[in-house]
A and B are shown apart, each in its own frame.
Chain A
């Protein structure tokens, strides 16, 4: 349950998460490094863990916690980071993935929102940017991407929890990732972690039409959901965002897919249907363990199906 002084069976402050990232980089110096990709609106660092065995490789991107209040996702990301690092050289699958590709992992995508949810309002979901002409604060960063921006399933009301923002990429947290992904140029899979009601989804969200890669993405997602269920029996619903949950424009994986990142997936981790965002911390490890099986399945598929 523990690695050094870090307790994975607990929710942690942003500072504690940041320290654990440093510890991980120090513990695995030849494999893990911390890369800064920008700053949040309130000037908190956006730090990514890079897992690399060296060289100029294609890569897989993982992120968590774009919606601040979904604490089990940030916790799962940190557990996953430790799992990747400790499995390299021990687990043949993760070893062969990292011998061919890099992995980037952003455990806290919305640091200002995370701190705000810890200190002021547990239900906070958005960023903390100031909206000109409104007393309401923040933008839903998962409606702020340049993919069907401002369309159905996003609100133009700054006080709404799904406010899309004044323009695409208006949120510095979103823009930082966009710039990083574009400048890297070789991201082959992009997986974003949310938590609510056990779903594994792929594009599109802004439209209910099928994507060109629907069959393959559906097959990979079904396989990943089966792997996940094999551990604790957690059942996931699988399909395109639009038909599985609701139409949502400006979402992360619609943008990544539009950039040519075929393996674009979004998870909604377990809430068990009873707790919503308030999943007891005792469920962090089971959630992370089962999610890992699905993540590994998607990463293996990415490795075995180069494009």
Chain B
């Protein structure tokens, strides 16, 4: 089973069309293995992307260098998944 230890979900708010273009370019970088949960299309609207642990530094550096605002929506995806698994096991026992 694939694990997602250290993966984060970032909430990104592009200010203008140019920043959206930068995010689209970022998405096309296959080696980063980004999983866009909500694509960036409208300035001011949030985009959400799951960033694998190995790509976090590169992505954050890129966002900061382009002046694109972001915050961390999920700190560690695996922590949520572990809770979900525990919940499922508990419910099954019930």
Do A and B come from the same complex? yes
The interface of chain A, by Cβ under 8 A from chain B, is 7, 9-11, 119-123, 159, 161, 196-197, 245-247, 273-278, 280-282
The interface of chain B, by Cβ under 8 A from chain A, is 1-2, 4, 9, 30, 35-39, 41-42, 48, 50, 73-74, 77, 80-81, 83-84, 87-88, 91-92, 94
Contact of B4 among A123, A161, A245, A247 (CB under 8 A): A123
- In the bound complex, CA of A7 to CA of B89 (Å): 13
User: Which B residues are CB-close (under 8 A) to A278?
Assistant: 74, 77, 80-81, 84
Known: A119-B1, A122-B2. A280 touches B91 (CB 8 A): no
- In the bound complex, CA of A11 to CA of B81 (Å): 13
SS of B interface (majority):
mixed
**Would you give the shortest CB distance from B90 to chain A, in whole angstroms?**
8
Residue from the set A121, A159, A276 with the largest chain B CB neighbour count within 10 Å: A276
Asked if A276 contacts B2 (CB within 8 A), the reply is no
Known: A123-B4, A275-B80, A280-B87. A246 touches B41 (CB 8 A): yes
- A-B contact count, CB below 8 Å? 62
Asked if B41 contacts A247 (CB within 8 A), the reply is yes
**Would you give the shortest CB distance from B89 to chain A, in whole angstroms?**
10
**Would you give the shortest CB distance from A95 to chain B, in whole angstroms?**
33
Known: A276-B74, A281-B84. A123 touches B35 (CB 8 A): yes
Contact of B88 among A10, A121, A196, A245 (CB under 8 A): A10
Asked if B38 contacts A197 (CB within 8 A), the reply is yes
Asked if B81 contacts A122 (CB within 8 A), the reply is yes
**Would you give the shortest CB distance from A194 to chain B, in whole angstroms?**
12
Asked if B80 contacts A10 (CB within 8 A), the reply is no
Residue of A nearest to B92 (CB): A10
Contact of B94 among A7, A245, A274 (CB under 8 A): A7
User: Which B residues are CB-close (under 8 A) to A7?
Assistant: 91, 94
**Would you give the shortest CB distance from A152 to chain B, in whole angstroms?**
10
